[in-house]
């Protein structure tokens, strides 16, 4: 109840963030949602974010058993998680800023997963200390995004898990334009490049808030990579598929995504065109991420 009140207060006070979130829902949904429906969606997003932040502040003090009890897994999710971990390869766990993405790291750690959270260092030193405590609690490790590529290559080659969030407009990282909610959107290509160079699985997932169950782990099917012989095209196409997988998660739980970020801030140049495969008649090879099975499309 307190979280709902605080979330409503934040929604009312944060005029700038509320306005930006409403603009973003307009970009994403167009006229399929009425202004009143978009306002209700943003209001709910504020309430859920506050609830997640309150739980997040408790993470470093929770026992492993208590943390495990906060999350439920259905049989399908458990099977997908065990299948991915049992493949003996690195896993790039792709999660949007949806639900409680920080708690996800700690939860996997208490399940015995060697997990690393990849994120930037906050500008505020006080926030830096808070996030360090959360991201490194329960045996997880934090990898600072700046200059981390070789470190990520090493841990993925060791068969470990890297949690990466690429659903925000981060112009400081290498990226490309792919559709997100039907609009060309600047998106980091790091996961695609890492998967191509290490053979790591690209595994979408999220830890979503559920009032009945508290939190629920979602693990979707792995993203299949494309192999044509052109790294530029392959990385673009894989990133496009990754973006589609993240969009699917947001569409299922729209009131748990951070609509307050300027996701569509960077626009493609007027002369920008997406990369093309090497030759029009060359067969594309899809790599089945779950078993390294290659098939000609």
Interatomic CA distance for residues 31 and 29, integer angstroms: 6
Q: What are phi and psi of 126, to 5 degrees?
A: -65, -45
Cβ proximity of 193 and 166 under 8 Å = no
The pLDDT value given to residue 296? 33
Please indicate whether residue 65 or residue 287 has the higher confidence score (pLDDT): 65
Question: What residue numbers bound the domain in which 88 lies?
Answer: 66-267+282-296
Residue 204 inside a domain? The answer is yes
Q: Reduce the DSSP state of residue 46 to 3 states and report it.
A: helix
Q: What value does the mean pLDDT of the chain take? A: 87
Residue 245 inside a domain? The answer is yes
Residue 60 inside a domain? The answer is no
Question: Is residue 291's pLDDT more than 80?
Answer: no
Residue 98 inside a domain? The answer is yes
pLDDT band for position 295 (cuts 50, 70, 90): very low
Q: What are phi and psi of 35, to 5 degrees?
A: -55, -40
Residue 58 inside a domain? The answer is no
pTM of the model: 0.89
Residue 292 inside a domain? The answer is yes
The pLDDT value given to residue 139? 81
Residue 150 inside a domain? The answer is yes
Residue 91 inside a domain? The answer is yes
With a CB cutoff of 8 Å and minimum separation 6, the contacts of 210 are: 72, 216
Interatomic CA distance for residues 3 and 255, integer angstroms: 15
pLDDT digits (tens, 9 = 90+) for 116-157: 999 876 666 666 676 677 777 788 888 877 668 899 999 999
* Domain count within the chain: 1
């Amino acid at each position: 109840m307190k979280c709902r009140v605080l979330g409503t207060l934040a929604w009312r006070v944060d005029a700038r963030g509320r306005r930006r979130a409403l603009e973003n829902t307009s970009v994403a949904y167009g006229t399929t949602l009425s202004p009143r429906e978009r306002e209700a969606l943003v209001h709910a997003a504020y309430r859920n974010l506050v609830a997640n932040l309150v739980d997040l502040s408790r993470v470093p003090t929770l026992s492993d058993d208590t943390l495990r009890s906060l999350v439920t897994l259905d049989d399908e999710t458990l099977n997908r998680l065990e299948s991915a971990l049992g493949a003996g390869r690195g896993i790039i766990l792709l999660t949007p800023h949806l639900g409680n993405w920080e708690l996800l790291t700690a939860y996997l750690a208490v399940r015995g997963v060697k997990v690393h959270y990849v994120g930037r260092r906050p500008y505020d030193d006080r926030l830096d200390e808070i996030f360090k405590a959360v991201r490194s609690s329960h045996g997880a490790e934090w990898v600072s995004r700046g200059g981390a590529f070789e470190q990520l290559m090493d841990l993925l080659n060791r068969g470990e898990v890297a949690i990466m969030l690429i659903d925000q407009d981060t112009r400081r990282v290498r990226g490309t334009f792919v559709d997100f909610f039907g609009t060309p959107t600047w998106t980091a290509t790091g996961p695609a490049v890492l998967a191509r160079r290490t053979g790591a699985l690209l595994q979408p997932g999220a830890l979503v808030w559920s009032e009945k169950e508290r939190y629920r782990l979602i693990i979707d099917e792995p993203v299949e990579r494309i192999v044509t012989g052109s790294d530029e095209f392959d990385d673009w196409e894989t990133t496009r598929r990754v973006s589609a997988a993240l969009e699917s998660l947001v569409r299922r739980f729209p009131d748990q995504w951070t609509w307050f970020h300027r996701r569509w801030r960077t626009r493609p140049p007027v002369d920008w065109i997406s990369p093309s495969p090497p030759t029009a008649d060359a067969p594309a090879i899809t790599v089945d991420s779950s078993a390294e099975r290659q098939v000609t499309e």
